[in-house]
A and B are shown apart, each in its own frame.
Chain A
Amino acid sequence: MKDQIMAPDTVAADIVVSGRGVGKTFADGSVVALKNADFGIKRGSFVSLVGPSGCGKSTLLRLVSGLIAPSSGAVTVHGTPVTGPRRDISMMFQKATLLEWRTALDNVLLPTEIAGTPTQADRNRAMDLLKLVGLGDFAFSFPAQLSGGMQQRVALARLLQTGADILLLDEPFGALDEFTRERLNTELMRIVAEVGATTLFVTHNISEAIFLADQVFVMTSRPGQVAKIVDVDLDRPRPLSIQTSPAFNALVADVRETLGAV
């Protein structure tokens, strides 16, 4: 099992995010959230992180984002160890986490406002991003006037407004209904391809993980670890119907087996 983890065919220079022996414990070491994770994410690739609830997916994402520090090992981004939040990484959460006193546009502008004073160019960019996520007509609406799916679109625009080339998404559409989620997933694929970002996407839905990704990191729990890395060699763009193809089902079986085997 160990040899599958090392992904030997990757060229080191192409890896933008890597983890070596990354571990994280909570509550003075009594909770092992993540144990000895090794992984590398290629520039511009889409990686899904799939695993049962509580296996340490969010923990891994927060380690990469610099929100928390590892108990052992190190996460490296663009060749430098992650020691805290950084501008080349941007994160999105399951909850839209919009500020309800700001319009959609002003919510998208928040990252720019935190980094400095927004210029007209920044505002135009925010407006363009809202159009990109299909909310051009709702730029001046407040979060309470938007549906759950629309709120997540605003959060997606805000994620892109940072200009970061590494995007971390923690079950971003997990609270939405099936139809909305599928549509947003399809759009997410289109958008990250368009901006050329490297994406780490957390989900507990196996089909969704495979459908979106170039690679799936399969995580198992107790203790949380990256048990297997599955390459998804399916052509893009992928229609929704690809999910019934034999190749897709073989990948689902592979992931399922790993999840069930431990």
Chain B
Amino acid sequence: MTNATLANDARILDRIIRFVPHVVLLGLLIGAWELGARTGLITSIMIPRPSAIGGAIVKLYVTEGTIWRHFFVTLTEAVVGFAIGASVAIGLAVASSLSEVFKRYVIPYAIVLNVTPGIALTPVVIAWFGYGMGSKMALAAILCFFPIFVNTLTGLVQVDEDREDLFTSLGASRAQIFAKLRVPSALPLMFAGLKIGLTTALIGAVVAEFAQATDGVGVLMSRFSFQLDMASSIATLLSMTVIGLMLFYTMEFLDDRIVFWRRESRRAAASRAAARTWSGQAGK
């Protein structure tokens, strides 16, 4: 136990030490930027000083707090749009993997949807779903559909032939092959698709906000840019980065836990858990 704690402490220290150069580099870049702006090397109307952006961040996020409503609107649009797009994509991928015929008829539409620039659908989507959050969710759903669909389908279909033979020779039903072989085999690729999809869903939500909306960080940002308040505009942009990071790391976390067998630390933990379950059962 003490050894484990020590090793843990050492790892944390190690990470902090590796973090330091990044902080230093970022500090230098921001410092140079600030200096350039103050000496007039960079026009500060179009490219605001870091200190001005810092001021805008404090104002928007803390003292006035005006950004939060927009922040949660955009977050909701992206997440709900993603959930809809991902559900449809996974549903169609599962159906396509089960039926050759279904797949043959679905794939052309998926390809057409993919080669059509999704962002160009913005005016259409707004006409259909209005100025509110509906149109943002719709565009987010459309943009995240394809990567999730293709990755999930590929994962479900590309199963090792020897393993399929194994299941067949054991007399497995189609349902058993699907549940015990295809689905787990597909999970790594499916998560790869979900991670790409989350990012494109956020793009969809923000682009639709730029086009036409009353709430959301996209609206806020274009409003600030229009007023030439570039410091606030960039402070708003940062909120999109934060949303993006939050979504990405949530998915990364789920990926790491659900597809646990790819990482040694996770495997070791699962291995210990299995051993504990066994001793529990043996005791009965």
Contact = CB atoms under 8 A, between A and B. Distances in A.
A105 B275 CA distance: 10
> Which of A101, A114, A115 has the most CB atoms of chain B within a 10 A radius of its CB?
A101
Nearest to B275: A140
Interface in A65-114: 65-67, 85-87, 89-91, 93-95, 97, 99-101, 103, 105-106, 110-111, 113-114
Interface residues of B, number: 28
Contacts of A67: 165, 168-169
Contacts, number: 79
A109 B85 CA distance: 37
Given A99-B184, A105-B278, A114-B176, A141 B271 contact: yes
B160 interface: yes
Contact of B181 (A89, A90, A94, A99): A99
Interface string B250-284: 00000000001100100110111011001001001
A198 interface: no
Given A93-B162, A105-B274, A140-B271, A110 B170 contact: yes
Contacts of B264: 144-145
A43 B134 CA distance: 71
Question: Could you say which interface size class chain A belongs to?
Answer: 20 to 34
B266 to A, nearest CB: 9
A231 B61 CA distance: 86
Given A99-B181, A101-B261, A123-B281, A90 B169 contact: yes
A47 to B, nearest CB: 19
B117 interface: no
A97 B171 contact: no
Interface of B: 160, 162-163, 165-172, 176, 180-181, 184, 260-261, 264, 267-268, 270-272, 274-275, 278, 281, 284
Given A103-B270, A120-B284, A145-B267, 18 more contacts: A62-B165, A67-B169, A90-B170, A91-B165, A97-B160, A97-B162, A99-B163, A100-B261, A103-B271, A111-B170, A114-B170, A114-B176, A115-B170, A115-B171, A123-B281, A140-B271, A142-B270, A145-B268
